[in-house]
Chain A
Amino acid sequence: QSALTQPRSVSGSPGQSVTISCTGTSSDVGGYKYVSWYQQLPGKAPKFMIYEVFKRPSGVPDRFSGSKSGNTASLTISGLQAEDEADYYCCSYAGSYTWVFGGGTKLTVL
């Protein structure tokens, strides 16, 4: 399984919106509705942010939204805040109880 492709970095100013893409194949992102996103602050464990492409777990602000088109999923963060600065990882179910993560995207809030 090859890692999903994410941009290495994105940036935005407070209040702006940013979108992080996550590109896979028809065997993972394109083949299932099970794309999830995780936020990782420096030195911390990942935090569950989005599941099943666009659903938000309890407690995750609605500034975070997800979508998918074909083999590419996206995470959009609107109304950027300084506390959003972190690494973000996408993950897709790849069938037969296997999973694949993206390489991670570092979000910088300018």
Chain B
Amino acid sequence: GQSLEQPSEVTAVEGAIVQINCTYQTSGFYGLSWYQQHDGGAPTFLSYNALDGLEETGRFSSFLSRSDSYGYLLLQELQMKDSASYFCAVHPGSARQLTFGSGTQLTVLP
């Protein structure tokens, strides 16, 4: 089976840096994705890691350690609009279904 664990809530202030961790246990692993979802909205793709290391996309970075079954999403220079739920999701195989964590609710305070 598959299971992913991530914190349920994180709070930070505008301009700060926040890290959202994700640990996973899966029967197959092809990569780890991160999605952002605002209340009532669709999940929006943020980043994808298939290999160990750091991927940077603007203010967002994502890290993967396959040997530790661990990844994180790093958000820098937080803005109010970053308040949303963030999900890590495992790809058990190429072009296959995503298995999502329960999500981390990020609240950015002024």
A and B found bound together: no
Residues of B within 8 A of A (CB): none
A residues engaging B (CB < 8 A)? none
